Amino acid sequence: MAKRIEASNVSSYYGSFKAIDNVSMTVEPKTITALIGPSGCGKSTFLRSINRMHEVLPNARIEGRLTIDDQNIYDSDVDVTAVRRMIGMVFQRPNPFPTMSIFDNVVAGLRLNGVKRKSTLEESAEKSLRAANLWDEVKDRLGRPGAGLSGGQQQRLCIARTIAVEPQVVLMDEPCSALDPISTLAIEDLMFKLKDRFTIIIVTHNMQQAARVSDKTGFFSIDKTGDPGRLIEYDDTQKIFSNPSEKKTEDYITGRFG
């Protein structure tokens, strides 16, 4: 089910601007990988390259190889929507569909991909909402608009929506940055639960969070503004936070950066 992701020499561009340079890393199935680093260092760009969301922006392009179980997702005969079905994504800001109810939001991925049977949709909605720790809060008001929930609930709704399509990899782009500590904890618990089924990659600015949830950590950095971001160090989380091999990593995680 969960897949191995291998990036080799990935460089991403916005027009002529090179956002990340030569990133290579391997993400094992059923692990949580955290990407940390200062703002503007290309963590999110790299994350968005993994499910081909990078190319949604005009003039954005990518070089290098990104494989999922040895399939290069940037081959010309690859169907973008199939890649994204396999690699789900949770965004920084919760983005429930404003015209849809809570129920419709959760099953949007299934319904818009052609699932019509009502019992399947209901079953899947309950399963996903339970997995996202949201079921008890919303089970009595599934018909109400998703945009009416609180920020933390909306984010969990978006996670439920993502796992409802049963992807093999879940990418999370700072999923807790707009949330209070309790909602953050709920989402971190959720990640541990999801680890049994999915490969998870999370971008975070919160180093305690990276240390708490992840098995491996990648540290991105830039030398100065305008330079492309690079992957400085990628290792077991334990090692990164106790005994990093690079001086830059140590400076960053101990707060002596810049």
Residues that bind another protein (CB under 8 A): 51, 53, 56, 58, 81-82, 84-86, 88-89, 91, 93, 95-101, 108-109, 112-113, 143-145, 148, 158, 161-162, 165, 167
Min separation Cβ 150 and another protein, Å: 14
**How far is residue 204's CA from residue 189's CA, in Å, rounded to a whole number?**
16
Min separation Cβ 62 and another protein, Å: 16
Min separation Cβ 238 and another protein, Å: 31
Measured from the CB atom, the residue of 172 and 232 that comes closer to another protein is 172
Length of the chain: 258
Q: Give which of 229, 223, 235 is closest to 44, Cα–Cα.
A: 229
**Burial tier of 111 (Cβ tally within 10 Å: 0-12, 13-18, 19+):** middle
Min separation Cβ 115 and another protein, Å: 12
**Burial tier of 55 (Cβ tally within 10 Å: 0-12, 13-18, 19+):** middle
**How far is residue 194's CA from residue 148's CA, in Å, rounded to a whole number?**
26
Measured from the CB atom, the residue of 165 and 232 that comes closer to another protein is 165
Measured from the CB atom, the residue of 99 and 238 that comes closer to another protein is 99
- Residue 183 tokens, joined: 């909602």
Measured from the CB atom, the residue of 26 and 99 that comes closer to another protein is 99
**Are residues 107 and 115 in contact, defined by beta-carbon separation less than 8 angstroms?**
yes
**How far is residue 34's CA from residue 25's CA, in Å, rounded to a whole number?**
12
Measured from the CB atom, the residue of 40 and 145 that comes closer to another protein is 145
Min separation Cβ 99 and another protein, Å: 4
> Is the alpha carbon torsion for 234, 159, 72, 228 positive or negative?
negative
